[in-house]
Structure 1
Amino acid sequence: MTHDVLIIGAGPGGYVAAIRARQLGLRVGLVERAHLGGICLNWGCIPTKAMLKGTDLLHQANHADRFGLHPLSPAIDPTRLIARAGEVSGQLSAGVAFLLKKNGVDLIWGAARITAPGQVEVTQSAVAAPRGALEAGRYSAPHIILATGASPRVLPGLEPDGRLVWTYMEALRPDRVPASLVIVGSGAIGVEFASIYAAMGAKVTLVELADRILPAEDAEISGLMAKALQKRGIAIHTGVSVSRLDRAADSLTAHLSNGMVLVADRLLSAGGVVPNVSGLGLEALGVVFRHGAVETDMAGRTSLPGLYAIGDVAGPPMLAHKAEHEGIACVEAISGRVPHAKGPIPACIYASPQVASVGLTEAAAAERGVALRVGRFSLRGNGKALVMGEPDGLVKCLFDAATDRIVGAQVIGAEASELIHGLTIAVSLGATSEQLAHVVFPHPTLSEAMHEAVLAAREGAIHA
């Protein structure tokens, strides 16, 4: 069967690109071997957030007396918590299948390999195909888009075994909640699972090679997160690595590079992810890679004419919304539209508290020689945060001192992931502090803290 576009991978980037391509009138084949919605929907973004919602409710229930309620004695049912995460993922996966069918996308079930330019061989998958999917075979298209995502990074000496040493996949489907858990890596994955398992009663220890947790985030925000986690009983060790791991029958011993020894039931290796580039036939085709990812231009074009890459396989930031954005840009370029420049990409961490950021940090601005005016506002001065019982947090806005344009923002605290979009719009449009100072924010809302942070960068916040 001949298509205009063949897309390999039905994660957020792949299925969104497929739907947009159909809207543009292209004949589309979408190849998937295991899960509609990809890792994000089935093993990452969605199920972890479903579990975190349960732990957030537990936290609120444990402090019910603050809201005028009789004290409660809630407890998490791990089996039900995990089951609900699967239910939410299943509902969304079914929704993706509906959208593909509605838009006339040909779903091809199996594992794909590019045998020649424009030629894809699909072999049978071990996972049963959804109803209506096309069978394995040979398919062709003048345009092929790689949207194969990423897989957990395997750290030397910490090879996952599915029982004692976990990836995020095992952490989402534990046979039981361990009494103690060591998490190696304190990026988004590590910090989110630290929140989840600490809430479920595990003694959690974070081990990070960098000198602070969340090393990709703003240093001030990182410090506030460390204090919040430690307040919840999570131990943190930075500037160290696991030099040796001894595995026993139902426990393990981690020897750290500073001489410390940690004994725990389980270990979660959360050292990030790596692009899924193997098994696709790319090396034989001479595709150019950069830092382990497929090198692309702003429209997703690779070094091989007719081959494109989007999302995680094309390199960082490895975020679902970035993949979706790139997927749309890619198929629009294929259909003849002029590729648009990629704007700043927000990043969110859904731990407790949440963290969200966009644009430059203070350190990044300093590296570029950009002089800043920085506005900060604590959520302790925000009425809605106090009403919610979530007063710990900070909104931070960074303005270019020369142009007055906002170049970055960071938020830590309640609903940070819902607040960052406003600041993302501001950074994308290059809004000035003067313009933002005159925007009217509704009261009482958390969003007022963004306005106060803007004012703090000028004459001063009102409620600070």
Structure 2
Amino acid sequence: MSQTFDTIVLGGGIGGYSAAIRASQLGRTVAIVEQDKLGGTCLHRGCIPSKALLRSAELFAVMKESERFGIETDSVRVDYKKVSTRKQAIVEQLYQGVQYLMKKNKITVFHGKGRIIGPSIFSPRSGTVSVEQEDGEILSLVPDKLIIATGSRPRSLPGLETDGITVLNSDEALRMEQLPESAIIIGGGVIGVEWASLLNDFGVQVTIVEFAQRLLPAEDEEVSRELERLLKKRGVTIRTGAAVQTDSVVRESGSIRLTVKRREELEELTAQVALVCVGRQANIEDIGLHATDVKVEAGFIKVNTNMQTAESHIYAVGDCIGGLQLAHAAAHEGIAAAEHGSGQTPHHTEAHQVPRCVYSRPEIASIGFTEGQAKDQGRKVKTAKLSFQGLGKAQVLGETDGFVKVVADEESGDILGVHMIGAHVTDYISEAALAQLLQATPWEVGQTIHPHPTLSELLGEAMLAVDGKSINF
């Protein structure tokens, strides 16, 4: 049995369903093939559930310090079962919303394992999707355009394979029924830092082991140093420039023991669990790429600026093409692929124009180039860095840690990067993103009236400070 659609999307995560919706808006007949639940990693195993846990952890941390706000409490404790129940309720509500969007946009959803097949009786070119449904029936879906959006999964570390008990990845950590007393987090990137912050706020003894010389090596160095300082202040043990000796791993009942090598010195670490956060790998095995001319490089599907693979009618978006591997980037890529596949001219975004967010406490938000990257490009830069310590709203909130840093080109005056660490900075990084999109100068952003008192005032002041024109700092 075969059916024909203008656009078929293989994978129903945020990149896939965004592509499907946009294609439908452009008048295409659209189908999505998804073997699990619509919403993908972001909704079910990533952005949403982890941020729900982070919110509960943040609230618990604030409540423990409520006396400094003039509020006295007899006792505050965590009921992790209720925390998890709330997390899942949020996921389920948003999942229903995604399902509604499919119906609203008249998108046909096929549940089952999808595989791409080569030229056949159904089509003279590759791209037909064979769907193995739950009841065993095989469907053949023939597209005019195919968009691959199969996402990614946590990368494993050889010698430290997860078992879901003492060694976990981020997916398995989200399914924990109770908090451990202690945890070793392998990896100090975005996922590792968020879990470290979350667990520490819940009272777990946390150690981060990062192979690079600093946490969040992709972020501005001053931001990394500030985050490390603040995490250490909260009691998190941090070992950077450290390599796990995988042959030293000993799993015992209720604990794990391992050795790390740092500056030629060995250190033994013990905890109840180890959480492996060493990146993500594309879900591209067993989807039929061998039946196509689609190219794979370094484990990811290769695409051009229009999201096209080596076969022009086959597109790929989201985590399976590598790059930033961010949900909002995947959504933008999905929309671009749908538009190009529908004969439109999509808006192209360079990687440095995509906002990056880390939802630790404090939060980190950035866009553009770091000061180091700009200098490596041979640019002459001018910078400004202002602390939240001097901001009224930060004092009111009791959240004065962190700063806003602006990097600009000395010759053109263009904004090259904005890097922020502090409370709720992810809520207004979009202003900096818009400034970069419109090629605004710091002076122009500084002329924007920022309401008082707000945290965003510091962004406006930092823009003015680049040219020595800040009013309140």
TM-score, normalization by structure 2: 0.94
For residue 253 of structure 2, the aligned residue among 229, 249, 253 is 249
Cross-structure match for 1:120: 129
1:182-221 deviation per Cα after TM superposition (whole angstroms, max 9, x unaligned): 0000111101111111122211000000001111111100
2: CA distance, partners of 1:10 / 1:142:
18
Q: Return the offset for 1:303.
A: 0.3
Q: Secondary structure at the match of 2:76?
A: coil
For residue 373 of structure 2, the aligned residue among 338, 360, 364 is 364
1: CA distance, partners of 2:151 / 2:127:
20
2: CA distance, partners of 1:25 / 1:250:
56
Q: Return the offset for 1:118.
A: 2.7
Contact 2:34 2:111 in 1 (8 A): yes
Matched positions, count: 457
Contact 2:385 2:404 in 1 (8 A): yes
1: CA distance, partners of 2:70 / 2:215:
36
1:324 aligns with 2:326: no
1:185-334 → structure 2 map (5 Å cutoff):
185-244=187-246, 245-258=249-262, 259-334=266-341
Aligned partner letter, 1:154? S
Contact 1:407 1:430 in 2 (8 A): no
Aligned partner letter, 1:225? L
Cross-structure match for 1:352: 361
1:119-165 deviation per Cα after TM superposition (whole angstroms, max 9, x unaligned): 11111359xxxxxxx97511111211001111101111111111111
2: CA distance, partners of 1:437 / 1:38:
39
1:50-449 → structure 2 map (5 Å cutoff):
50-116=52-118, 117-125=126-134, 136-244=138-246, 245-258=249-262, 259-343=266-350, 344-449=353-458
Q: Return the offset for 1:460.
A: 4.2
Q: Return the offset for 1:291.
A: 2.1
Aligned partner letter, 1:417? T
Aligned partner letter, 1:299? N
- Percent identity over paired residues: 40
Q: Where in structure 1 are there 5+ consecutive unaligned residues? A: 127-133
Against the structure 1 CA distance between its residues 263 and 463, is the aligned structure 2 distance closer, same or farther, given a 3 Å change threshold?
Answer: same
2: CA distance, partners of 1:10 / 1:230:
39
Aligned partner letter, 1:143? K
Moved more, 243-252 or 224-233: 243-252
Aligned partner letter, 2:64? N
Aligned partner letter, 1:123? E
RMSD: 1.4
1: CA distance, partners of 2:133 / 2:383:
55
2: CA distance, partners of 1:118 / 1:341:
25
Contact 1:346 1:424 in 2 (8 A): yes
Q: Secondary structure at the match of 1:151?
A: strand
Aligned partner letter, 1:434? W
Q: Secondary structure at the match of 1:313?
A: helix
Q: Return the offset for 1:22.
A: 0.7
Contact 2:127 2:292 in 1 (8 A): no
Aligned partner letter, 1:363? G
Q: Secondary structure at the match of 2:451?
A: coil
1:363-415 deviation per Cα after TM superposition (whole angstroms, max 9, x unaligned): 11011111111011100111111100101110011111110011110110010
2: CA distance, partners of 1:439 / 1:175:
47
Moved more, 64-73 or 211-220: 64-73
Cross-structure match for 2:463: 454
Cross-structure match for 1:131: none
Aligned partner letter, 2:28? L
Q: Secondary structure at the match of 1:3?
A: strand
Contact 1:184 1:267 in 2 (8 A): yes
Aligned partner letter, 1:333? H
Q: Where in structure 2 are there 5+ consecutive unaligned residues? A: 119-125
Cross-structure match for 2:15: 13
2: CA distance, partners of 1:314 / 1:253:
36
1: CA distance, partners of 2:259 / 2:68:
42
2: CA distance, partners of 1:99 / 1:286:
33
Contact 2:130 2:141 in 1 (8 A): yes
1: CA distance, partners of 2:65 / 2:300:
46
Aligned partner letter, 1:321? H
Aligned partner letter, 1:386? Q
Moved more, 200-209 or 72-81: 72-81
Aligned partner letter, 1:90? E
Contact 1:109 1:136 in 2 (8 A): no
1: CA distance, partners of 2:114 / 2:456:
46
Q: Return the offset for 1:450.
A: 0.3
